[in-house]
Amino acid sequence: MAPTSIGAHYLTQIWSGGTVLSVIWFLYRWKSNVFARIVTGKAIAGADRERYLTMDRLSSIGLLLLGGMAFAEACGVAVQSILTVGGIGGT
């Protein structure tokens, strides 16, 4: 195999990983702005405010986990295999 084809393969993984990171960053910033606008609204107070803050934190964690898995998959890691082995080992 020629060295140029190996380099092209890595370049494709780098572009895929960069694209995934860009999309995750955009979604995270968009989500943060939406929740910030909701929480700073005058009609939201007390328990409702805490619910929205909790939803913001949970959605951040979920988005970062999915983003991490998508990034690993874009870089060539077989995430589905890891999750399958983890599911079998966890039971």
CA proximity to 22, closest of 74, 87, 89, 83 = 74
Please report where in the chains the tokens 């700073």 appear, as a residue. Answer: 40
Is the Cβ–Cβ distance between 13 and 76 less than 8 Å? yes
At 6 the pLDDT is 63
Residue 63 tokens read as 């988005």
At 29 the pLDDT is 95
Which sign, positive or negative, has the C-alpha torsion 21, 22, 25, 28? negative
Domain that holds residue 75: 3-90
Amino acid code (one letter) for 77? V
At 58 the pLDDT is 95
* Number of structural domains found in the chain: 1
pLDDT tens-place values along the chain, 91 residues long? 455 566 777 788 888 888 999 999 999 999 999 988 888 877 777 778 888 889 999 999 999 999 999 888 888 888 888 888 877 666 5
